[in-house]
Amino acid sequence: MNLSCEQVPYSRLAEEFGTPLYVYSQSALTEAFKGYTDAFAALEPLVCYAVKANGNLSIIKHFASLGSGFDIVSGGELARVLAAGGDAGKTIFSGVGKSEAEIEFALNAGVKCFNMESIPEIDRIQAVAARLGKTAPVSLRVNPDVDAKTHPYISTGLKANKFGIAYADAFQAYQYAAQQPNLNIVGIDCHIGSQLTDLSPLIEACERILLLVDRLAEAGIMPEHLDLGGGVGIVYDNENVPDLNAYARAVQKLIGTRRLKLVLEPGRSLVGNAGTLLTRVEFVKQGEEKNFVITDAAMNDLMRPALYGAFHRIEAVEPTGTEPFTADIVGPVCETGDFIGKDRRIACEAGSLLAVHSAGAYAASMASNYNARNRAAEVMVSGTQSRLIRQRETWEQQMANETACL
Ligand code: LLP
């Protein structure tokens, strides 16, 4: 069996565009998006795709064409949304350290809401809005202190994390924000972590936030929207993942008769399993203790295994006729941490093409030039068609902003 993306064989894509190569299925993106809008239909949610998962302009444009809003965390992400034709009025600006310049850019662009994460940030947004003679639509990101039960590096909703305003301080922070002349409170927000495999922390967070909504209402502070963030996990190996229909039903029940519009900020669950990283085997090397399959993709193309010990399924794209053996799949980067998979059974030889699955999210967007490697190309497949959506970088481009001066 030869593997393909929609109707285009991976082998043809690798020949045409070279490797390493990120390949995305457009219909998988559409299906994932519809998964949200269908499940949550009764709540008419605004799904704000978290651009950090994959900020390629074609991916943003595709989601925009489906009616998506966007969750951004930097001026650069906002610039991408605007360049791809996304709607600033459906864009939420999250993140703990927004600069004055970024706030000004977003205010002028007319974003839907700033998720504010601290008192000093409230002061900063108020000051920038006053200077520009504008009113900033705002919400507070509340840290509900629930355990997302995910990898500690991607858990964000605990007291010990840098994100959001502590649950115990949130009421007062809202009162403080409500006193600012250039801020208009439009929402309430939380995001407790990423790659959640269990629904219960998401529900618990929603419950806690709604308790706060009720307390705020008594004080005359009425957020119009409830933003539950992202975090829904995907299958990399054989994990259980939250069922969107069950999530939607639980949220609907919890919201009850409150007049709140729902906003969601999914990233990984919209793009993760729509993408694959194709890589060519350079060598098979027998070490003293282990075998190594050395590929042309490395940690700079897919950092997740090195950073979180993350698992990505890897398989040969075409049968090779060789016997399977156990090996570490590693890249050419000069780091012991440069691995894509450990102790994998695989049948391959030099020249074989491998597919590294679930590489649509936090792969290309976290890529770097480490070891002066060019960033890989990206291709979008739709049916029998494939389009290059990011050219392979060149050495000249890598060096373009540098000067060799004495
Ligand atoms: N909203 C906010 C405020 C976020 O910080 C994030 C992700 C999302 C939404 C989207 O979360 P998702 O639906 O993708 O779980 N690099 C890590 C993941 C970091 C997630 C950061 N925040 C990884 O590769 O696993």
Tens of pLDDT, residue by residue over 22-32, are 999 999 999 99
pLDDT in the model for residue 163: 84
Closest among 10, 17, 48 to 267, alpha carbons compared? 48
Tens of pLDDT, residue by residue over 121-135, are 999 999 999 999 999
- The burial class, CB within 10 Å (0-12 / 13-18 / 19+), for 130 is middle
Q: How far is the CA of 222 from the centre of ligand 1 (A)?
A: 27
User: 405 lies in a domain?
Assistant: no
Rounded average pLDDT over 183-200:
96
Could you tell me if 124 and 261 lie in one domain?
yes
Pocket lining for ligand 1, CB < 6 angstroms: 50, 52-53, 71, 94, 154, 191, 194-195, 229-232, 265-269, 304, 308, 362
pLDDT in the model for residue 151: 75
User: 341 lies in a domain?
Assistant: yes
User: 101 lies in a domain?
Assistant: yes
Check whether 149 has a pLDDT greater than 90.
no
Q: How far is the CA of 134 from the centre of ligand 1 (A)?
A: 30
Domain boundary among 216, 242, 270: 270
Q: Compute, in degrees rounded to 10, the torsion defined by CA atoms 62, 5, 41, 362.
A: -70
Tens of pLDDT, residue by residue over 290-306, are 999 999 999 999 999 99
Could you tell me if 209 and 314 lie in one domain?
no
Q: Please tell me the distance from the alpha carbon of residue 110 to that of residue 391, in angstroms, as a whole number.
A: 31
Tens of pLDDT, residue by residue over 4-26, are 999 999 999 999 999 999 999 99
Q: How far is the CA of 155 from the centre of ligand 1 (A)?
A: 9
Check whether 43 has a pLDDT greater than 70.
yes
pLDDT in the model for residue 304: 98
Could you tell me if 155 and 302 lie in one domain?
no
Could you tell me if 246 and 335 lie in one domain?
no
Percent with pLDDT over 70 in the chain: 99
Check whether 153 has a pLDDT greater than 90.
no
Q: How far is the CA of 267 from the centre of ligand 1 (A)?
A: 6
pLDDT in the model for residue 122: 98
Please give the structure tokens belonging to residue 128. Answer: 């920038």
Q: Please tell me the distance from the alpha carbon of residue 102 to that of residue 98, in angstroms, as a whole number.
A: 6
**CA angle, 20 as apex, 16 and 26 as ends, to 5°?**
70
Tens of pLDDT, residue by residue over 70-121, are 999 999 999 999 999 999 999 999 999 999 999 999 999 999 999 999 999 9
Q: Please tell me the distance from the alpha carbon of residue 232 to that of residue 246, in angstroms, as a whole number.
A: 12
Long-range contacts of 42-47 (CB under 8 A, 24+ apart): 42/248, 42/252, 43/248, 43/251, 43/252, 43/255, 43/261, 43/262, 44/261, 44/262, 45/261, 45/262, 45/263, 45/264, 46/90, 46/112, 46/225, 46/261, 46/262, 46/263, 46/264, 47/264, 47/266
Could you tell me if 219 and 298 lie in one domain?
no
Crossing angle of the two packed helices 57-65 and 75-83, in degrees rounded to 10:
60
Which protein residue has the closest C-alpha to ligand 1 atom 22? Answer: 194
pLDDT in the model for residue 385: 98
Q: Is 348 one of the catalytic residues?
A: no
Residue 161: pLDDT band by 50, 70, 90 thresholds?
Answer: confident
Check whether 147 has a pLDDT greater than 90.
no
Could you tell me if 167 and 252 lie in one domain?
yes
pLDDT in the model for residue 159: 73
User: 335 lies in a domain?
Assistant: yes
Check whether 158 has a pLDDT greater than 80.
no
User: 116 lies in a domain?
Assistant: yes
Marked catalytic residue, from 5, 334, 348, 405: 334
Could you tell me if 308 and 266 lie in one domain?
no
Q: How far is the CA of 265 from the centre of ligand 1 (A)?
A: 9
Beta bridge partners of residue 18, listed in sequence order: none
Q: Which residues contact 335 (CB under 8 A, 6 or more apart)?
A: 299, 306
Please give the structure tokens belonging to residue 45. Answer: 């949610």
Which protein residue has the closest C-alpha to ligand 1 atom 7? Answer: 194
Tens of pLDDT, residue by residue over 314-373, are 999 999 889 999 999 999 999 999 999 999 999 999 999 999 999 999 999 999 999 999
Could you tell me if 276 and 266 lie in one domain?
no
Could you tell me if 229 and 328 lie in one domain?
no
Ramachandran angles phi, psi of 229, nearest 5° = 70, -160
> Domain tally for the chain?
2
User: 219 lies in a domain?
Assistant: yes
Could you tell me if 303 and 194 lie in one domain?
no
Q: Please tell me the distance from the alpha carbon of residue 393 to that of residue 386, in angstroms, as a whole number.
A: 19
Tally of residues, the chain: 406
Q: Please tell me the distance from the alpha carbon of residue 373 to that of residue 367, in angstroms, as a whole number.
A: 10
Verify cis geometry, omega within 30 degrees of 0, for the bond prior to 319.
no
pLDDT in the model for residue 160: 74
Closest among 238, 270, 277, 274 to 366, alpha carbons compared? 277
User: 332 lies in a domain?
Assistant: yes
Task: Check which CATH number belongs to the domain holding 363 and give it.
Answer: 2.40.37.10
Q: Which of 48, 52, 115, 156 to mutate to test the pocket of ligand 1 (most atoms within 8 A of CB)?
A: 52
Domain of 157? 26-270
Could you tell me if 179 and 206 lie in one domain?
yes
Closest among 159, 187, 177, 222 to 71, alpha carbons compared? 187
Residue 65: pLDDT band by 50, 70, 90 thresholds?
Answer: very high
Check whether 155 has a pLDDT greater than 90.
no
pLDDT in the model for residue 150: 74
Domain boundary among 270, 291, 313: 270
User: 400 lies in a domain?
Assistant: no
Which protein residue has the closest C-alpha to ligand 1 atom 19? Answer: 154
Which atom of ligand 1 lies closest to the CA of 189?
A: 3
Reported pTM: 0.97
Tens of pLDDT, residue by residue over 223-252, are 999 999 999 999 999 999 999 999 999 999
- The burial class, CB within 10 Å (0-12 / 13-18 / 19+), for 287 is exposed
pLDDT in the model for residue 157: 65
Could you tell me if 72 and 174 lie in one domain?
yes
Task: Check which CATH number belongs to the domain holding 206 and give it.
Answer: 3.20.20.10
Which protein residue has the closest C-alpha to ligand 1 atom 24? Answer: 362
Domain boundary among 242, 270, 298: 270
Tens of pLDDT, residue by residue over 273-293, are 999 999 999 999 998 899 999
Which atom of ligand 1 lies closest to the CA of 115?
A: 3
